[in-house]
Amino acid sequence: MGQLDRYCDPGKAVIITDRTIKNLLGKFFCKYRVVEIGTGEKAKTLKTVHSVYEKFLDYELDRTSFVLAVGGGIVCDVAGYVASTYLRGLPFGFIPTTLLAQTDAAIGGKNGVNFKGYKNLIGTFNQPRFVLCDLELLKTLSARELKNGFAEIIKHALIGDAFMLSYLEKEWRRAYELEGTFMEQLLFDSLKVKACIVSQDETEKGERRKLNFGHTFGHALEKIYGLKHGEAISIGMVLAARISVAKGLIDRNDMLRIEKILAHFGLPVEVGIEKDLIMDAIRKDKKREGENINFVLLNGIGNAVVLPISIEELEEMVRDMC
Protein backbone atom coordinates (compact mmCIF):
# COMPACT_ATOMS: atom_id res chain seq x y z
CA MET A 1 0.00 0.00 0.00
CA GLY A 2 2.96 2.29 0.64
CA GLN A 3 3.53 2.43 -3.13
CA LEU A 4 0.05 3.66 -4.03
CA ASP A 5 1.32 6.86 -5.71
CA ARG A 6 3.17 4.72 -8.26
CA TYR A 7 -0.16 3.49 -9.61
CA CYS A 8 -2.34 6.57 -9.37
CA ASP A 9 -1.86 10.29 -9.20
CA PRO A 10 -3.22 11.70 -5.90
CA GLY A 11 -4.26 14.85 -7.79
CA LYS A 12 -6.49 12.84 -10.16
CA ALA A 13 -7.65 9.84 -8.15
CA VAL A 14 -10.61 9.46 -5.80
CA ILE A 15 -10.58 6.48 -3.44
CA ILE A 16 -13.82 4.64 -2.72
CA THR A 17 -13.66 2.56 0.43
CA ASP A 18 -15.61 1.56 3.53
CA ARG A 19 -15.18 2.39 7.22
CA THR A 20 -13.30 -0.80 8.13
CA ILE A 21 -10.70 -0.20 5.45
CA LYS A 22 -10.48 3.51 6.21
CA ASN A 23 -9.67 2.62 9.82
CA LEU A 24 -7.10 0.02 8.79
CA LEU A 25 -5.43 1.76 5.84
CA GLY A 26 -6.46 5.42 6.13
CA LYS A 27 -2.86 6.50 6.72
CA PHE A 28 -2.09 5.67 3.10
CA PHE A 29 -5.01 7.76 1.82
CA CYS A 30 -4.06 11.18 3.22
CA LYS A 31 -3.05 12.68 -0.16
CA TYR A 32 -6.27 11.46 -1.81
CA ARG A 33 -9.90 12.49 -1.88
CA VAL A 34 -11.88 9.69 -0.24
CA VAL A 35 -15.51 8.62 -0.50
CA GLU A 36 -16.68 6.23 2.21
CA ILE A 37 -19.62 3.90 1.64
CA GLY A 38 -21.49 1.62 4.06
CA THR A 39 -20.77 -2.06 4.62
CA GLY A 40 -22.78 -5.18 3.77
CA GLU A 41 -25.20 -6.01 0.96
CA LYS A 42 -27.57 -3.31 2.21
CA ALA A 43 -25.00 -0.73 1.05
CA LYS A 44 -24.75 -2.20 -2.46
CA THR A 45 -27.66 -0.15 -3.81
CA LEU A 46 -28.51 2.64 -6.21
CA LYS A 47 -28.92 4.88 -3.14
CA THR A 48 -25.23 4.45 -2.37
CA VAL A 49 -24.40 4.98 -6.05
CA HIS A 50 -26.38 8.22 -5.93
CA SER A 51 -24.49 9.45 -2.88
CA VAL A 52 -21.14 8.71 -4.55
CA TYR A 53 -22.23 10.61 -7.71
CA GLU A 54 -22.98 13.59 -5.44
CA LYS A 55 -19.49 13.44 -3.96
CA PHE A 56 -18.02 13.26 -7.47
CA LEU A 57 -19.98 16.41 -8.36
CA ASP A 58 -18.64 18.19 -5.26
CA TYR A 59 -15.13 17.11 -6.20
CA GLU A 60 -15.70 18.37 -9.77
CA LEU A 61 -14.35 15.18 -11.34
CA ASP A 62 -13.73 15.28 -15.08
CA ARG A 63 -12.75 12.72 -17.70
CA THR A 64 -9.12 12.87 -16.60
CA SER A 65 -10.08 11.70 -13.10
CA PHE A 66 -9.46 8.18 -11.84
CA VAL A 67 -11.51 6.04 -9.45
CA LEU A 68 -9.70 3.64 -7.13
CA ALA A 69 -11.62 1.07 -5.10
CA VAL A 70 -9.87 -0.16 -1.94
CA GLY A 71 -12.00 -2.75 -0.19
CA GLY A 72 -13.88 -6.02 -0.44
CA GLY A 73 -16.25 -7.15 -3.17
CA ILE A 74 -18.93 -4.67 -2.15
CA VAL A 75 -16.62 -1.67 -2.50
CA CYS A 76 -15.24 -2.99 -5.82
CA ASP A 77 -18.72 -3.69 -7.24
CA VAL A 78 -20.09 -0.26 -6.29
CA ALA A 79 -16.95 1.63 -7.36
CA GLY A 80 -16.78 -0.21 -10.69
CA TYR A 81 -20.40 0.63 -11.41
CA VAL A 82 -20.09 4.28 -10.40
CA ALA A 83 -16.90 4.70 -12.43
CA SER A 84 -18.45 2.97 -15.45
CA THR A 85 -21.45 5.28 -15.50
CA TYR A 86 -20.29 8.70 -14.24
CA LEU A 87 -19.48 10.98 -17.19
CA ARG A 88 -20.18 7.95 -19.41
CA GLY A 89 -17.26 6.14 -17.85
CA LEU A 90 -14.12 7.05 -15.92
CA PRO A 91 -11.04 4.84 -15.75
CA PHE A 92 -10.83 2.81 -12.56
CA GLY A 93 -8.64 0.36 -10.67
CA PHE A 94 -9.10 -2.09 -7.80
CA ILE A 95 -7.12 -2.89 -4.69
CA PRO A 96 -9.19 -5.80 -3.35
CA THR A 97 -8.74 -6.35 0.38
CA THR A 98 -10.64 -9.61 1.01
CA LEU A 99 -9.59 -13.01 -0.29
CA LEU A 100 -12.94 -13.31 -2.05
CA ALA A 101 -12.42 -10.00 -3.83
CA GLN A 102 -8.81 -10.86 -4.77
CA THR A 103 -9.73 -14.23 -6.21
CA ASP A 104 -13.13 -13.41 -7.64
CA ALA A 105 -15.03 -10.11 -7.27
CA ALA A 106 -12.27 -7.82 -8.60
CA ILE A 107 -11.61 -10.06 -11.61
CA GLY A 108 -13.73 -10.35 -14.73
CA GLY A 109 -15.23 -6.91 -15.30
CA LYS A 110 -18.68 -7.38 -13.75
CA ASN A 111 -19.70 -4.35 -11.72
CA GLY A 112 -23.07 -3.72 -10.19
CA VAL A 113 -25.51 -3.25 -7.36
CA ASN A 114 -28.56 -4.98 -5.91
CA PHE A 115 -32.08 -3.85 -6.72
CA LYS A 116 -35.35 -4.65 -4.91
CA GLY A 117 -33.75 -7.56 -3.10
CA TYR A 118 -32.28 -9.09 -6.28
CA LYS A 119 -28.51 -9.43 -6.16
CA ASN A 120 -26.45 -7.68 -8.84
CA LEU A 121 -29.51 -6.91 -10.96
CA ILE A 122 -28.17 -3.54 -12.18
CA GLY A 123 -24.68 -3.44 -13.60
CA THR A 124 -22.12 -3.19 -16.36
CA PHE A 125 -19.40 -5.25 -17.96
CA ASN A 126 -16.33 -3.04 -17.86
CA GLN A 127 -12.73 -3.88 -17.05
CA PRO A 128 -10.57 -2.01 -14.52
CA ARG A 129 -7.21 -0.62 -15.65
CA PHE A 130 -5.49 -2.70 -12.97
CA VAL A 131 -6.14 -5.04 -10.05
CA LEU A 132 -3.45 -5.00 -7.36
CA CYS A 133 -3.53 -7.92 -4.94
CA ASP A 134 -1.49 -7.37 -1.79
CA LEU A 135 -1.48 -10.55 0.31
CA GLU A 136 -0.44 -8.61 3.41
CA LEU A 137 -3.91 -7.05 3.45
CA LEU A 138 -5.48 -10.45 4.16
CA LYS A 139 -3.89 -10.70 7.61
CA THR A 140 -6.61 -8.63 9.29
CA LEU A 141 -9.47 -10.68 7.82
CA SER A 142 -11.63 -12.82 10.10
CA ALA A 143 -11.49 -16.60 9.71
CA ARG A 144 -15.03 -16.56 8.31
CA GLU A 145 -14.12 -14.01 5.60
CA LEU A 146 -11.04 -16.06 4.68
CA LYS A 147 -13.14 -19.22 4.33
CA ASN A 148 -15.40 -17.33 1.96
CA GLY A 149 -12.46 -16.71 -0.36
CA PHE A 150 -11.10 -20.24 -0.08
CA ALA A 151 -14.48 -21.59 -1.26
CA GLU A 152 -14.05 -19.67 -4.55
CA ILE A 153 -10.42 -20.77 -4.88
CA ILE A 154 -11.46 -24.42 -4.47
CA LYS A 155 -14.23 -23.81 -7.03
CA HIS A 156 -11.65 -22.54 -9.54
CA ALA A 157 -9.53 -25.68 -9.01
CA LEU A 158 -12.57 -27.94 -9.48
CA ILE A 159 -13.76 -26.29 -12.68
CA GLY A 160 -10.45 -25.61 -14.34
CA ASP A 161 -7.25 -26.93 -12.78
CA ALA A 162 -6.93 -30.50 -11.47
CA PHE A 163 -3.25 -29.97 -10.58
CA MET A 164 -4.20 -27.05 -8.34
CA LEU A 165 -6.57 -29.32 -6.43
CA SER A 166 -3.85 -31.97 -5.93
CA TYR A 167 -1.32 -29.55 -4.49
CA LEU A 168 -3.97 -27.91 -2.35
CA GLU A 169 -4.93 -31.35 -0.97
CA LYS A 170 -1.30 -31.95 0.03
CA GLU A 171 -0.49 -28.50 1.36
CA TRP A 172 -3.76 -26.93 2.42
CA ARG A 173 -2.28 -25.98 5.81
CA ARG A 174 0.12 -23.55 4.09
CA ALA A 175 -2.87 -21.81 2.54
CA TYR A 176 -4.80 -21.86 5.79
CA GLU A 177 -1.85 -20.13 7.46
CA LEU A 178 -1.61 -17.60 4.58
CA GLU A 179 2.02 -18.54 3.89
CA GLY A 180 3.32 -15.94 1.43
CA THR A 181 4.94 -17.94 -1.38
CA PHE A 182 2.27 -20.62 -1.30
CA MET A 183 -0.58 -18.10 -1.33
CA GLU A 184 1.02 -16.21 -4.22
CA GLN A 185 1.06 -19.36 -6.35
CA LEU A 186 -2.44 -20.37 -5.26
CA LEU A 187 -3.93 -16.95 -5.98
CA PHE A 188 -2.12 -16.78 -9.32
CA ASP A 189 -3.46 -20.20 -10.39
CA SER A 190 -6.94 -19.32 -9.19
CA LEU A 191 -6.95 -16.03 -11.11
CA LYS A 192 -5.66 -17.83 -14.20
CA VAL A 193 -8.72 -20.11 -14.20
CA LYS A 194 -11.14 -17.20 -13.87
CA ALA A 195 -9.29 -14.94 -16.34
CA CYS A 196 -9.07 -17.75 -18.91
CA ILE A 197 -12.83 -18.44 -18.74
CA VAL A 198 -13.76 -14.73 -18.78
CA SER A 199 -11.50 -13.99 -21.73
CA GLN A 200 -13.43 -16.54 -23.79
CA ASP A 201 -16.84 -15.13 -22.87
CA GLU A 202 -16.72 -11.72 -21.24
CA THR A 203 -20.48 -11.11 -21.31
CA GLU A 204 -21.64 -14.54 -20.08
CA LYS A 205 -23.21 -16.11 -23.14
CA GLY A 206 -21.82 -19.60 -22.48
CA GLU A 207 -18.34 -20.45 -21.16
CA ARG A 208 -18.53 -17.97 -18.29
CA ARG A 209 -21.47 -19.87 -16.82
CA LYS A 210 -18.92 -22.45 -15.61
CA LEU A 211 -17.99 -19.95 -12.90
CA ASN A 212 -21.44 -20.58 -11.43
CA PHE A 213 -20.45 -24.09 -10.29
CA GLY A 214 -22.16 -24.62 -6.92
CA HIS A 215 -24.08 -21.36 -7.29
CA THR A 216 -27.55 -22.64 -8.33
CA PHE A 217 -28.05 -24.34 -4.97
CA GLY A 218 -25.63 -21.92 -3.31
CA HIS A 219 -27.70 -18.81 -4.03
CA ALA A 220 -30.85 -20.58 -2.83
CA LEU A 221 -29.13 -21.72 0.40
CA GLU A 222 -27.64 -18.27 0.98
CA LYS A 223 -31.07 -16.69 0.76
CA ILE A 224 -32.98 -19.26 2.79
CA TYR A 225 -30.51 -19.98 5.59
CA GLY A 226 -28.64 -16.65 5.71
CA LEU A 227 -25.30 -18.42 5.14
CA LYS A 228 -22.20 -16.54 4.00
CA HIS A 229 -21.67 -16.82 0.26
CA GLY A 230 -18.67 -19.16 0.59
CA GLU A 231 -20.47 -21.44 3.01
CA ALA A 232 -23.50 -21.62 0.74
CA ILE A 233 -21.52 -22.40 -2.40
CA SER A 234 -19.52 -25.00 -0.51
CA ILE A 235 -22.73 -26.98 0.09
CA GLY A 236 -23.85 -26.07 -3.44
CA MET A 237 -20.63 -27.57 -4.88
CA VAL A 238 -21.16 -30.79 -2.92
CA LEU A 239 -24.72 -31.05 -4.25
CA ALA A 240 -23.57 -30.33 -7.81
CA ALA A 241 -20.85 -32.96 -7.38
CA ARG A 242 -23.49 -35.49 -6.23
CA ILE A 243 -25.51 -34.77 -9.36
CA SER A 244 -22.33 -35.21 -11.43
CA VAL A 245 -21.90 -38.65 -9.80
CA ALA A 246 -25.56 -39.52 -10.49
CA LYS A 247 -24.99 -38.63 -14.15
CA GLY A 248 -21.84 -40.78 -14.32
CA LEU A 249 -19.53 -37.81 -14.97
CA ILE A 250 -17.33 -38.23 -11.88
CA ASP A 251 -16.96 -41.14 -9.47
CA ARG A 252 -17.65 -41.34 -5.74
CA ASN A 253 -13.97 -41.02 -4.95
CA ASP A 254 -13.87 -37.61 -6.69
CA MET A 255 -16.86 -36.55 -4.66
CA LEU A 256 -15.17 -37.56 -1.42
CA ARG A 257 -12.08 -35.56 -2.42
CA ILE A 258 -14.27 -32.50 -2.93
CA GLU A 259 -15.97 -32.88 0.45
CA LYS A 260 -12.61 -33.42 2.16
CA ILE A 261 -10.88 -30.34 0.75
CA LEU A 262 -13.86 -28.13 1.62
CA ALA A 263 -13.91 -29.56 5.15
CA HIS A 264 -10.16 -28.84 5.56
CA PHE A 265 -10.98 -25.15 5.18
CA GLY A 266 -13.81 -25.40 7.71
CA LEU A 267 -16.45 -25.07 5.00
CA PRO A 268 -19.77 -26.87 5.48
CA VAL A 269 -20.57 -29.84 3.25
CA GLU A 270 -23.97 -30.79 4.63
CA VAL A 271 -27.12 -28.95 5.47
CA GLY A 272 -30.54 -30.23 6.44
CA ILE A 273 -32.12 -29.08 3.20
CA GLU A 274 -35.79 -28.28 3.04
CA LYS A 275 -36.59 -29.48 -0.46
CA ASP A 276 -39.63 -27.27 -1.09
CA LEU A 277 -37.86 -24.07 -0.05
CA ILE A 278 -34.82 -24.90 -2.20
CA MET A 279 -36.89 -25.77 -5.27
CA ASP A 280 -38.98 -22.64 -4.84
CA ALA A 281 -35.82 -20.47 -4.79
CA ILE A 282 -34.43 -22.32 -7.83
CA ARG A 283 -37.65 -21.75 -9.79
CA LYS A 284 -37.21 -18.01 -9.16
CA ASP A 285 -33.51 -18.09 -10.18
CA LYS A 286 -32.85 -15.34 -12.73
CA LYS A 287 -30.58 -17.74 -14.67
CA ARG A 288 -33.47 -20.15 -15.29
CA GLU A 289 -34.39 -20.53 -18.96
CA GLY A 290 -38.00 -21.71 -19.30
CA GLU A 291 -38.35 -25.22 -17.84
CA ASN A 292 -34.58 -25.74 -17.75
CA ILE A 293 -31.72 -24.62 -15.54
CA ASN A 294 -28.28 -24.39 -17.13
CA PHE A 295 -26.59 -26.45 -14.48
CA VAL A 296 -22.82 -26.59 -14.02
CA LEU A 297 -21.51 -30.11 -13.44
CA LEU A 298 -18.06 -31.67 -13.31
CA ASN A 299 -16.97 -33.98 -16.08
CA GLY A 300 -13.90 -35.02 -14.11
CA ILE A 301 -11.97 -32.84 -11.66
CA GLY A 302 -10.78 -29.64 -13.33
CA ASN A 303 -13.33 -29.84 -16.11
CA ALA A 304 -16.72 -28.15 -15.79
CA VAL A 305 -19.57 -28.66 -18.24
CA VAL A 306 -22.84 -26.77 -18.52
CA LEU A 307 -25.88 -28.99 -19.12
CA PRO A 308 -29.53 -28.05 -19.25
CA ILE A 309 -31.45 -29.93 -16.56
CA SER A 310 -35.22 -29.69 -16.37
CA ILE A 311 -36.74 -28.37 -13.15
CA GLU A 312 -38.61 -31.68 -12.89
CA GLU A 313 -35.43 -33.78 -13.06
CA LEU A 314 -33.69 -31.47 -10.59
CA GLU A 315 -36.61 -31.78 -8.21
CA GLU A 316 -36.33 -35.56 -8.35
CA MET A 317 -32.60 -35.42 -7.66
CA VAL A 318 -33.06 -33.03 -4.75
CA ARG A 319 -35.68 -35.39 -3.33
CA ASP A 320 -33.23 -38.30 -3.57
CA MET A 321 -30.44 -36.27 -1.95
CA CYS A 322 -32.49 -34.96 0.99
Provide the annotated active-site residues: 88, 110, 152, 194, 204, 208, 212, 215, 219, 229
Compute CA distances 140 → 98, 178, 202, 286, whole Å. 9, 11, 32, 35
Q: What count of other Cβ atoms lies within 10 Å of the Cβ of residue 136?
A: 9
Q: What count of other Cβ atoms lies within 10 Å of the Cβ of residue 33?
A: 17
Distance CA 144, CA 146 (A): 5
* Residue 32 or 94 with smaller CB distance to ligand NAD: 94
The amino acid sitting at 284 is K
* Residue 43 or 321 with smaller CB distance to ligand NAD: 43
Please give the residue ranges that form the binding site for ligand NAD (CB under 6 A). 18, 20-21, 24, 39, 41, 44, 71-75, 77, 97-98, 100-101, 104-105, 108, 110, 119-120, 137, 140-141, 145, 148
Report in angstroms how near the CB of residue 76 gets to ligand NAD at its nearest: 7
Report in angstroms how near the CB of residue 290 gets to ligand NAD at its nearest: 26
Report in angstroms how near the CB of residue 271 gets to ligand NAD at its nearest: 20
- C-beta separation of 109 from 126 below 8 A: yes
* Residue 104 or 231 with smaller CB distance to ligand NAD: 104
Report in angstroms how near the CB of residue 39 gets to ligand NAD at its nearest: 4
* Residue 20 or 166 with smaller CB distance to ligand NAD: 20
Distance CA 8, CA 11 (A): 9
Distance CA 29, CA 10 (A): 9
Distance CA 162, CA 222 (A): 27
